[in-house]
Amino acid sequence: MHVLNICYRAFGFIKGFGLVLSGLALAGMILSISADVLSRNLSGNSIPGVYEVVMFYLMPLSVLPIVFYAFAQGVSPRIPMVFDRLPARFQKALYLFVVMAELLLMAIVAFYSFEYAVDGTTAGHAFPAAGDMYPKYPVYYLIPIGFAGVAVELAFIGLKNVMQPGVWITYTKDQATIAEEFQV
């Protein structure tokens, strides 16, 4: 268990890195769109390429590196009305199954989006902006990274459920904590 916690904390660093990346991209998005609006209203010209760069770089960068951080917070909606009323012993087995099935799904998305990213790299996918071509394929890798991150988080949750008593909905919050937190 100790080892697992250490590993989870290490994974936390990766999440932190994703947050920093996302925060920078958000700042970039706010500043570049605002600058674009300002430039258009002052000089009548928009800044060439802002639209495409926001769409293809900043938007994916601000929302993808943090999907596994978001998932780890336990706000992703599930409707636990039936689940919470099941017999306690059955709940754990069922949740383990759910975690494994979701892990498989996330891994599948990560796998195929990774394949697409590799194909895009080979084909040199690019977008035209401000009269030039910019490579699009590097941002493709954010999808498999995000989904693999969710899969890793699910693996941690699954292991925690195996090693510790109780039903752990997220790695740090068991069923009771989640229910209590949402009461506030």
Partner 1 sequence: EDTFNFRVTSALSPNHGQWQGFFKPWMEKVEEESDGRISFTTFVSGELVKATNEPDALKQGIVQIAAPLLPTYDPALFPMSEVPMLPLAKSSPKIGSLALKALLESDVPLKDGKTFSELEYEANGLVAIPITISEEYSISTTGQRFETVEDVKSVTLRTPSRIHEMYAANVGINSITMPAFDLFDALSRGAVDGSFLFISDWTGYGFDELFKYTVTDVNLGHFASVMAVTEEQWNKLPEDLQKIMLGAADEQITEGAQLWVDRREKIMKETKAKGAEFVSVHDLPPEVSKLLMSGMEQTWFDYIAKLEEKGLPGTELARLWRDIVIEQGGDVPAAIHDL
Partner 2 sequence: MSDPLFLLSILCAFLILMAAGFHIHSILLGIGVIGLALIQDFSIASAFLRSDPFGQVASYALTTIPLYVIMAQFILKSGVVQDAFIMVYKLSKGKPTVLGAMTVVIGGFLGAVSGSGAATAASLGSVAVPELRSYGFRRELAGAIAAASGSLSGIIPPSIILILYGVITETPISDLFMAAIIPGVLTMLVFVGCVIVMHRRGRDVSQPVPAPSSEIRISARRAITVVMVGVFMFSLIFGGIYLGFVTPTEAGAIGALGAFVTALVLGKVNRSFMASSVKDTATVTGMIMLILIGAAIFGRFVSFSLLPRRILSMIEFLIQYPSVVLIILAVVFFILFMFIEGTAVILMALPVVLPVIQKAGIDVLWFGVFISVICTLGLITPPVGLSVYSAAGTSGVPASSIFGPATKMAVAVAVFVCGSMIVFPELATWLPSTVSR
* Binding string, residues 114-153; x marks residues near partner 2 by CB under 8 A: -xx--x-------------------xx--x---x--x---
Structure tokens at 125: 């996918």
User: Which region among 25-33, 38-46, 98-106, 142-150 touches partner 1 (by CB under 8 A)?
Assistant: 38-46
Q: Is 136 helix (H, G, I), strand (E, B) or coil?
A: coil
Binding status of residue 158 toward partner 2 by CB under 8 A: no
* Packing angle, helices 142-163 and 2-43, rounded to 10: 150
In this structure, what are the phi and psi dihedrals at residue 129, rounded to the nearest 5 degrees? -155, 140
Radius of gyration for the alpha carbons in the chain, expressed in angstroms and rounded: 21
Q: Which residue has the tokens 């916690």?
A: 5
Beta bridge partners of 128: 133
Nearer to partner 1, 118 or 126 (CB): 126
Enumerate binding residues for partner 2 (CB under 8 A). 18-19, 22-23, 26, 29-31, 33-34, 36-37, 41, 51, 54-56, 59-60, 62-64, 66-71, 73, 75-83, 94-95, 97-98, 101-102, 105-106, 108-109, 112-113, 115-116, 119, 139-140, 143, 147, 150, 181-184
